[in-house]
Amino acid sequence: MAPGSSALPAPPQQIGFCKTEDGVRIAYATAGTGPPLVKAANWLNHLEFEWQSPVWRHWVGELTRQHTFIRYDERGCGLSDWDVKDFSFDAWVSDLETVVRTLRLERFVLMGISQGVAVAIAYAVKHPDKVSRLVLYGGYARGWAKRGSQEEIERKHALNILIRHGWGRDHPAFRQMWTTLYIPEGTLEQVQWFNDLQRISASPENAERFSQAFGQIDVTDLLAKVRVPTIVFHCDQDAAVPFHEGRLIAAGIAGAKFVPLNGRNHVLLQNEPAWNIFLRELGDFLGWQ
């Protein structure tokens, strides 16, 4: 069966827990067979809720067909501990290190999506012996406070106020606004699911803390230190993360392949043409049969 030719059902997943050095309980999940592929956590994760979702199930179906697919909820969201003190970038990298150590992974493909791209880059630089290949999609090296104009920064601060007062509540106008940034071309089913994800993935307080912390990310000095084969994907009309951030990452990593995709969605949906292009390029890069 050709990749992306039809919706592949998600296999059963096994959920477990591990504990970081600072005592935070992290939930992780494994599914599928084959060489391991680890996805660095990104915001709006919930291992159980997203497993059969209309937004992520085509990703899950394809990746578990080729790999043992490993995911985890970062601290502060999903099935991991919500009541945590440390929301720093170093703590997110530590979450990934804890999962890898718990599963005793020797070498694996590392995938980063959105905010998880910066975490994946930092991990690959710190542990080049562990990462066989690096797959980066829709991410950024510089957070909104580091890359943006004053207008963008003011807009983000306004969104953070809305998060504080609207996240997790049944407020259709707020939820729809946020969903439109991420999947503007989503179907009604996909939009409703993404709206629900906002409510259950994190508390309003944690959601605001996440957003503030994302603004301070800056791994631009690490790009030249990446020594593993890398492929970078980014949609040209992504409203959540500017296209030029993907280009900056690809230009900064020696030998990285940059694959621009035509589309407006921050998360690739199965019914858009860019999804099949993504799968073809990813399959070539990872040597899928």
**Which is nearest to 13 in space by CA: 52, 39, 41, 42?**
52
Q: Rounded mean pLDDT of the chain?
A: 91
What's the total number of domains in the chain? 1
Residue 241 lies in a domain: yes
Look at residue 168 in the predicted model and tell me its pLDDT.
Answer: 58
Look at residue 169 in the predicted model and tell me its pLDDT.
Answer: 64
Residue 7 lies in a domain: no
Look at residue 7 in the predicted model and tell me its pLDDT.
Answer: 56
Residue 131 lies in a domain: yes
| Least confidently predicted of 170-179, 200-209, 214-223 | 170-179
Residue 267 lies in a domain: yes
Backbone dihedral angles phi then psi of residue 85, each to the nearest 5 degrees: -90, -40
Name the helix (H) or strand (E) containing 32.
none
Q: Which residues of 26-57 are buried (b: 16+ CB within 10 A; e: fewer)?
A: bbbbbbbeeebbbbbbbbbbbbebbbebbbbb
Band of pLDDT at residue 207, cut at 50, 70 and 90: confident
CB 141 within 8 A of CB 245: yes
- Of the chain, the percentage scoring pLDDT greater than 70 comes to 94
Look at residue 5 in the predicted model and tell me its pLDDT.
Answer: 43
Residue 247 lies in a domain: yes
- Of the chain, the percentage scoring pLDDT greater than 90 comes to 73
Residue 177 lies in a domain: no
Backbone dihedral angles phi then psi of residue 255, each to the nearest 5 degrees: 80, 5
CB 42 within 8 A of CB 72: no
pLDDT digits (tens, 9 = 90+) for 47-92: 999 988 999 999 999 999 999 999 999 999 999 999 999 999 999 9
Name the helix (H) or strand (E) containing 85.
none
Residue 180 to residue 41: CA distance in whole angstroms: 21
Band of pLDDT at residue 8, cut at 50, 70 and 90: low
Look at residue 176 in the predicted model and tell me its pLDDT.
Answer: 76
More confident residue, 2 or 240: 240
Say yes or no to pLDDT of 227 above 90: yes
Range of the domain at 122: 14-141+219-286
pLDDT digits (tens, 9 = 90+) for 243-263: 999 999 999 999 999 999 999
Look at residue 172 in the predicted model and tell me its pLDDT.
Answer: 61
| Least confidently predicted of 113-117, 209-213, 268-272, 278-282 | 209-213
Residue 79 to residue 75: CA distance in whole angstroms: 9
Look at residue 6 in the predicted model and tell me its pLDDT.
Answer: 47
Q: Sign of torsion, CA 179 185 191 194?
A: negative
Band of pLDDT at residue 187, cut at 50, 70 and 90: very high
Residue 130 lies in a domain: yes
**CATH number of the CATH domain containing 108:** 3.40.50.1820
Look at residue 204 in the predicted model and tell me its pLDDT.
Answer: 84
pLDDT digits (tens, 9 = 90+) for 135-186: 999 999 999 888 877 777 887 777 777 777 777 566 666 777 778 889 999 9
Say yes or no to pLDDT of 44 above 70: yes
More confident residue, 194 or 171: 194
Look at residue 160 in the predicted model and tell me its pLDDT.
Answer: 75
Residue 175 lies in a domain: no
Band of pLDDT at residue 1, cut at 50, 70 and 90: very low
Contacts of 171 (CB under 8 A, 6+ apart): none
Look at residue 237 in the predicted model and tell me its pLDDT.
Answer: 97
